[in-house]
Amino acid sequence: MRNQVLYLLGLISAILISNAYAINPDSISTGITPTAISTQMILILTKNWEDSTGILFRYERNKLGEKWKEIGNAFPVSIGRNGLAWGTGLHGSTLDEGPVKHEGDGKSPAGVFLLSKIFGYESSDNVKWLNMPYIQVDSCIECVDDTNSIYYNNIIDDRTIKEKDWKSSEIMKLSDNEYEWGIFVENNSMPRIKGNGSCIFLHIWENEDILHWLNINSSPVLVQLPQEEYNKLKFRWALP
């Protein structure tokens, strides 16, 4: 049985189709720890930096400052084909030792990242049960991963662009269900730094309970780390 969630890098990130979905970085700058703003957490742990699989856990708490409580069952996931590397998110960027995320390196970002919205093939009218901002995608919506483009690490509706300046992008809607559901991961988005990685998201293959559970009012975050780094940072970041 294949992993229930595919975490695929180099594809779709938590970047915005329009400023209407923008998240104010000032709202995350005053936290004592990278997770201080959140009451929902998805935690993915791998055995080491090179491991291409991990285990996904979910945690929540009633209010900020409380201890995290695990909910649901943990399950295996796939991540970047070449493992993990430090991304750029709520934790800052590179910490301690370990590889650093670069465009096209086949690695998923390690660190703490805001989960800002969900995308899918369904119409907005059919997903009113979601408690997250939602973007309905079609074959004209792309995520630009060309580092030379002014649209780098952005989701673009190409019908609105008169002059395309990118040579590489990911089409958001495919002919199969691989991209049917996805959660945007805010890596390298505030600000976007050329070459630091683009288009990151969580694909949901089976466990759609995650989609029902996520709530934008809880400022949900993804924490993704090798086990050794998790052990080092658990106390400092107040992790479960």
**Taking the model in full, what pTM does it have?**
0.86
Written as tens digits, the pLDDT of the chain (240 aa) is: 344 444 443 333 332 333 333 333 444 444 479 999 999 999 999 999 999 999 999 999 999 999 999 999 999 999 989 999 999 999 998 787 899 999 999 999 999 999 999 999 999 999 999 999 999 999 899 999 999 999 999 888 999 998 999 999 988 887 777 778 999 899 998 889 999 999 998 988 777 899 999 999 999 999 999 999 999 999 999 999
Q: Measuring CA to CA, which residue among 15, 11, 33, 7 is closest to residue 191?
A: 15
- As to burial, measured by CB atoms within 10 angstroms (0-12 exposed, 13-18 middle, 19+ buried), residue 179 is buried
- Residue 227: predicted pLDDT: 97
Domain boundaries, the chain: 5-140+175-233
- Residue 7: predicted pLDDT: 44
